[in-house]
Structure 1
Amino acid sequence: MEERKFCQCCAMPLDKPEDKGTEAGGTLSEDYCRYCYQNGAFTAPDATMDDIIAFNLKFNAENGHPFGPQEEAEKMMRGWFPTLKRWRKG
Protein backbone atom coordinates (compact mmCIF):
# COMPACT_ATOMS: atom_id res chain seq x y z
CA MET A 1 0.00 0.00 0.00
CA GLU A 2 1.32 3.42 -0.96
CA GLU A 3 2.08 5.82 1.86
CA ARG A 4 -0.43 8.65 2.08
CA LYS A 5 0.98 12.04 1.07
CA PHE A 6 0.19 15.32 2.79
CA CYS A 7 0.81 18.93 1.84
CA GLN A 8 4.22 19.91 3.18
CA CYS A 9 2.83 23.29 4.24
CA CYS A 10 -0.66 22.77 5.71
CA ALA A 11 -0.84 18.94 6.01
CA MET A 12 -3.90 18.58 3.76
CA PRO A 13 -4.09 15.05 2.33
CA LEU A 14 -3.00 14.88 -1.31
CA ASP A 15 -5.23 11.93 -2.16
CA LYS A 16 -6.48 13.11 -5.55
CA PRO A 17 -4.65 14.85 -8.40
CA GLU A 18 -7.00 17.83 -8.11
CA ASP A 19 -5.82 18.34 -4.50
CA LYS A 20 -2.28 19.07 -5.64
CA GLY A 21 -0.79 22.47 -6.36
CA THR A 22 1.08 23.26 -9.56
CA GLU A 23 4.69 23.90 -10.45
CA ALA A 24 5.72 26.84 -12.65
CA GLY A 25 5.43 24.70 -15.80
CA GLY A 26 1.96 23.49 -14.88
CA THR A 27 2.91 20.02 -13.65
CA LEU A 28 1.35 18.84 -10.41
CA SER A 29 3.32 19.40 -7.23
CA GLU A 30 4.20 16.26 -5.30
CA ASP A 31 4.70 18.28 -2.11
CA TYR A 32 2.04 20.98 -1.82
CA CYS A 33 -1.75 21.36 -2.12
CA ARG A 34 -3.65 23.63 -4.47
CA TYR A 35 -4.46 26.04 -1.66
CA CYS A 36 -0.84 26.56 -0.59
CA TYR A 37 1.03 26.37 -3.89
CA GLN A 38 0.20 27.52 -7.42
CA ASN A 39 2.40 28.16 -10.46
CA GLY A 40 5.55 27.22 -8.56
CA ALA A 41 5.05 29.61 -5.64
CA PHE A 42 3.37 29.70 -2.27
CA THR A 43 0.00 31.44 -2.32
CA ALA A 44 0.81 33.02 1.07
CA PRO A 45 4.60 33.49 0.91
CA ASP A 46 4.73 35.51 4.14
CA ALA A 47 2.61 33.08 6.18
CA THR A 48 4.26 31.60 9.25
CA MET A 49 3.74 28.13 10.63
CA ASP A 50 1.60 29.72 13.37
CA ASP A 51 -0.56 31.39 10.70
CA ILE A 52 -1.20 28.06 8.97
CA ILE A 53 -1.97 26.32 12.28
CA ALA A 54 -4.42 29.11 13.17
CA PHE A 55 -6.09 28.73 9.77
CA ASN A 56 -6.39 24.96 10.24
CA LEU A 57 -7.82 25.40 13.74
CA LYS A 58 -10.43 27.81 12.36
CA PHE A 59 -11.30 25.22 9.68
CA ASN A 60 -11.52 22.57 12.40
CA ALA A 61 -13.94 24.65 14.48
CA GLU A 62 -16.12 25.59 11.51
CA ASN A 63 -16.36 22.05 10.14
CA GLY A 64 -17.36 19.95 13.15
CA HIS A 65 -13.86 19.26 14.49
CA PRO A 66 -12.60 16.70 11.94
CA PHE A 67 -9.18 16.93 13.62
CA GLY A 68 -10.65 16.41 17.10
CA PRO A 69 -11.14 18.90 19.93
CA GLN A 70 -9.31 22.17 19.40
CA GLU A 71 -6.75 21.63 22.15
CA GLU A 72 -5.83 18.16 20.87
CA ALA A 73 -5.79 19.33 17.25
CA GLU A 74 -3.44 22.18 18.09
CA LYS A 75 -1.13 19.89 20.06
CA MET A 76 -1.02 17.45 17.12
CA MET A 77 -0.30 20.24 14.62
CA ARG A 78 2.44 21.78 16.75
CA GLY A 79 4.12 18.38 16.92
CA TRP A 80 3.72 17.54 13.22
CA PHE A 81 4.12 20.83 11.36
CA PRO A 82 7.80 21.39 12.23
CA THR A 83 8.52 18.12 10.34
CA LEU A 84 6.85 19.37 7.13
CA LYS A 85 9.18 20.51 4.34
CA ARG A 86 8.14 24.19 4.41
CA TRP A 87 8.68 24.54 8.17
CA ARG A 88 11.73 22.33 8.76
CA LYS A 89 14.69 24.17 10.15
CA GLY A 90 18.01 23.79 8.38
Structure 2
Amino acid sequence: MEKKFCQSCGMPLQTPEEMGTNSDGSKNDEYCCYCYKDGAFTSDCTMDEMIMHCAEFVSEFNKGSGLALTKEQAIAGMKEFFPTLKRWAAQ
Protein backbone atom coordinates (compact mmCIF):
# COMPACT_ATOMS: atom_id res chain seq x y z
CA MET A 1 0.00 0.00 0.00
CA GLU A 2 1.23 3.46 -0.87
CA LYS A 3 2.04 5.50 2.20
CA LYS A 4 -0.01 8.70 2.32
CA PHE A 5 0.99 11.86 4.12
CA CYS A 6 -1.04 14.93 5.00
CA GLN A 7 -0.37 17.41 2.20
CA SER A 8 -0.23 20.22 4.76
CA CYS A 9 1.72 18.96 7.80
CA GLY A 10 3.30 15.73 6.54
CA MET A 11 1.66 13.49 9.15
CA PRO A 12 1.32 9.88 7.95
CA LEU A 13 -2.32 9.06 7.20
CA GLN A 14 -2.68 5.50 8.41
CA THR A 15 -6.31 5.23 9.53
CA PRO A 16 -9.60 6.79 8.36
CA GLU A 17 -9.83 8.57 11.73
CA GLU A 18 -6.67 10.50 10.92
CA MET A 19 -8.09 11.84 7.65
CA GLY A 20 -9.65 15.27 7.35
CA THR A 21 -13.23 15.79 6.21
CA ASN A 22 -14.76 17.43 3.16
CA SER A 23 -17.67 19.88 3.38
CA ASP A 24 -20.13 17.01 2.83
CA GLY A 25 -18.64 15.05 5.75
CA SER A 26 -16.82 12.51 3.58
CA LYS A 27 -13.19 11.66 4.34
CA ASN A 28 -10.43 13.61 2.60
CA ASP A 29 -7.42 11.39 1.91
CA GLU A 30 -5.04 14.28 1.20
CA TYR A 31 -5.16 16.11 4.54
CA CYS A 32 -5.24 15.06 8.19
CA CYS A 33 -8.00 15.75 10.69
CA TYR A 34 -5.85 18.40 12.40
CA CYS A 35 -5.25 20.45 9.23
CA TYR A 36 -8.51 20.02 7.31
CA LYS A 37 -12.06 19.87 8.63
CA ASP A 38 -15.45 20.36 6.95
CA GLY A 39 -13.82 21.24 3.62
CA ALA A 40 -11.46 23.94 4.88
CA PHE A 41 -8.05 24.29 6.47
CA THR A 42 -8.27 24.63 10.24
CA SER A 43 -5.65 27.38 10.35
CA ASP A 44 -4.48 30.07 8.00
CA CYS A 45 -0.71 29.89 8.29
CA THR A 46 2.45 30.08 6.25
CA MET A 47 4.63 27.08 5.55
CA ASP A 48 7.21 28.34 8.05
CA GLU A 49 4.53 28.72 10.72
CA MET A 50 3.38 25.14 10.05
CA ILE A 51 6.97 23.89 10.34
CA MET A 52 7.40 25.63 13.71
CA HIS A 53 4.08 24.19 14.91
CA CYS A 54 5.07 20.66 13.83
CA ALA A 55 8.50 21.07 15.47
CA GLU A 56 6.71 21.17 18.84
CA PHE A 57 5.86 17.48 18.37
CA VAL A 58 9.37 16.19 17.58
CA SER A 59 9.77 14.30 20.86
CA GLU A 60 6.38 12.61 20.33
CA PHE A 61 7.41 11.64 16.78
CA ASN A 62 10.74 10.26 18.03
CA LYS A 63 8.96 7.93 20.47
CA GLY A 64 6.91 6.31 17.73
CA SER A 65 9.65 6.10 15.13
CA GLY A 66 12.69 4.92 17.04
CA LEU A 67 14.55 8.02 15.84
CA ALA A 68 16.24 10.63 17.98
CA LEU A 69 15.97 13.80 15.91
CA THR A 70 16.75 17.10 17.53
CA LYS A 71 14.28 19.92 16.98
CA GLU A 72 16.83 21.59 14.70
CA GLN A 73 17.28 18.42 12.61
CA ALA A 74 13.51 18.02 12.32
CA ILE A 75 13.07 21.64 11.21
CA ALA A 76 15.81 21.24 8.58
CA GLY A 77 14.11 18.09 7.27
CA MET A 78 10.71 19.75 7.17
CA LYS A 79 12.14 22.74 5.26
CA GLU A 80 13.13 20.25 2.54
CA PHE A 81 9.99 18.07 2.68
CA PHE A 82 7.19 20.63 3.05
CA PRO A 83 7.71 22.38 -0.33
CA THR A 84 6.84 18.99 -1.94
CA LEU A 85 3.44 18.90 -0.20
CA LYS A 86 0.39 19.98 -2.19
CA ARG A 87 -0.60 22.84 0.14
CA TRP A 88 2.83 24.49 -0.06
CA ALA A 89 4.05 23.48 -3.54
CA ALA A 90 2.04 26.26 -5.20
CA GLN A 91 3.71 28.96 -3.09
- Give the superposed CA RMSD: 1.4
Partner in structure 2 of residue 57 of structure 1: 55
1:89 is displaced (CA, Å) by 2.4
Q: Which aligned runs of 4 or more in structure 1 are off by greater than 3 angstroms?
A: none
* 1:11-41 deviations in Å (ceiling 9; x for gaps): 0110000000000111100100000000000
Report percent identity of matched pairs.
Answer: 45
Q: TM-score, normalised by structure 2?
A: 0.87
Which 5+ residue runs of structure 1 have no aligned equivalent? none
Q: How many residues matched?
A: 86
Q: TM-score, normalised by structure 1?
A: 0.88
Partner in structure 2 of residue 73 of structure 1: 74
How is 1:7-46 mapped onto 2 (pairs within 5 angstroms)? 7-44=6-43, 46=44
1:10 is displaced (CA, Å) by 0.3
- Structure richer in strand, relative to its length: 2
